[in-house]
Amino acid sequence: MEIGVICSNTHKYPVSAMCEVLQIPKVTYYYIAKSQKNNDDEITDFIIRVFKDSCNIYVQRKIKKLYKLGHQVAIRWVGLIMKEQGIVSKYTVAQFRVAKSSVN
């Protein structure tokens, strides 16, 4: 019962504080939350859809910002899903060119 209260309020309060107030070990919460697997298929489908809609350009941070379905998703979790699905961005970092100057 208390686990449901913690799950529904994770966006408002830290899990550690809620576990302390309800006198539940954090390990118990994380064990139960992991066993429930909160909509992993929905998250994966969303990430794939956003990536395809962006013409294979979006990276982890951009997809993280767009995720507004009410779930907390870490950037590393998005990166892990992208790696499992074999999704690689076409994004390249601009190259810095060193300007050669004359020596005194």
pLDDT at 20: 92
In a domain, 99, yes or no: no
Q: Does residue 15 sit in the same domain as residue 55?
A: no
47 & 67 share domain = yes
* pLDDT tens sequence for the chain (104 residues): 677 888 888 888 898 999 999 998 988 888 887 766 555 777 788 888 888 887 777 777 777 666 666 666 777 888 888 888 888 877 655 666 777 777 76
Is 96 domain-assigned? Answer: no
Task: Please provide the DSSP assignment of 52-101 as one string.
Answer: HHTTS---HHHHHHH--SS----HHHHHHHHHHHT------PPPPPPPP-
Report helix, strand and coil shares of the chain as percent, to nearest 5. 55, 0, 45
Residue 82: its pLDDT value, please? 83
